[in-house]
Amino acid sequence: MLGSVVEDYLKGIYKLQQEHGRVPTSAVAQRVGVTDASATNMIKRLAELGLARHHPYRGVELTEAGEKVALEVIRHHRLIELYLKEALGYPWDQVDAEAERLEHHISEEFEDRIDAALGHPTVDPHGDPIPSKDGTVDDEYLPRLTDLQPGERAVIRRVSDRDAERLRYLAQLGLYPGVAVYLRERAPFNGPLFVRVGDTEHVLGHDLAATIGVEQRRDAEPAPAER
């Protein structure tokens, strides 16, 4: 057993690594919520454990082993999130916080049982992919709502889970994975987007829209009623 602190670092580094390859110490510190000095310290320990490679003054990378652990933690996290929502009726914006604590304390057995209860799902409530048990994820880049051109249609596939308040707002607007949207117009210079969901139109700030991953649809296709 590794201790939940180590797991949190690994998870944090993994996620940062997704975005920018080698990760600076300060980014890890910020993500995990400790000082830079503490992060340096832990990074050195991770290196000793063979879970990361430390390139002094130039960041960290996970080793194979470290990545494996990170993916296990992420799998736990996302399975738990989905379970909370599906089996216990949690609202969308609360699952992340609860999963955050639980993810470090469940057994293999528990993991297997909720996985089975959910029918071996592949995505969590925010549309994030659930790593498989053997440590593989299909985490390809999705275009954002902001990548669409006016007149284009798409289905929401993924929404960042980093901010509960934002999730509540989006839920209120009916914007979550599986929902079909139509971009009517967009203001220039990263201005707001005018997005239709069914009959209603919403005005979304550019930054908010940029957190929404979508799958583009050909114009002709009727939006499938998923989920």
Closest separation in Å from C-beta 42 to DNA: 5
106 binds a second copy (CB under 8 A): yes
In the sheet with 212-217, reading across from the earlier edge strand, the strands are: 200-204, 193-197, 180-186, 153-159, 212-217
Helix runs in the chain, H state only: 4-20, 25-32, 36-48, 64-88, 95-102, 108-117, 164-173, 206-209
Q: Which is nearer to DNA, 38 or 94 (CB)?
A: 38
- Residues from 44 through 63 that contact DNA (CB under 7 A): 44-45, 54-59
Q: Which is nearer to DNA, 76 or 104 (CB)?
A: 104
| Number of CB atoms found within 10 A of residue 186's CB | 19
Q: Residues 189-208: x/- map of binding to DNA (CB under 7 A)?
A: --------------------
**Nearest alpha-carbon partner for 13 in 54, 97, 48:** 54
For the record, the structure tokens of 200 come out as 């209603």
Given candidates 20, 22, 55, 113, which one binds a second copy under the rule CB under 8 A? 113
64-88 and 4-20 helices cross at what angle (nearest 10)? 100
Among 30, 38, 94, 132, binds a second copy (CB under 8 A): 94
* Shortest distance, position 102 Cβ to a second copy, whole Å: 6
At 91, list the tokens. 């609202």
Query: Judged by CB under 8 A, which stretch of 55-63, 95-103, 136-144, 175-183 contacts a second copy?
Result: 95-103
Q: Is 40 in the site for DNA (CB under 7 A)?
A: yes
| Contact call for residues 156 and 178 (beta carbons, < 8 A) | yes
- Answer yes or no whether residue 89 interacts with a second copy by CB under 8 A: yes
Residue 179 phi, psi dihedral angles, 5° rounding: -85, 135
Binding test (CB under 8 A) with a second copy, winner from 87, 150, 151, 184: 87
Which residues bind to DNA, rule: CB under 7 A? Answer: 3, 5-6, 24-27, 32, 34-45, 54-59
Q: Interface residues with a second copy (CB under 8 A)?
A: 84, 87-90, 94, 97-98, 101-102, 104-107, 109-110, 113-114, 117
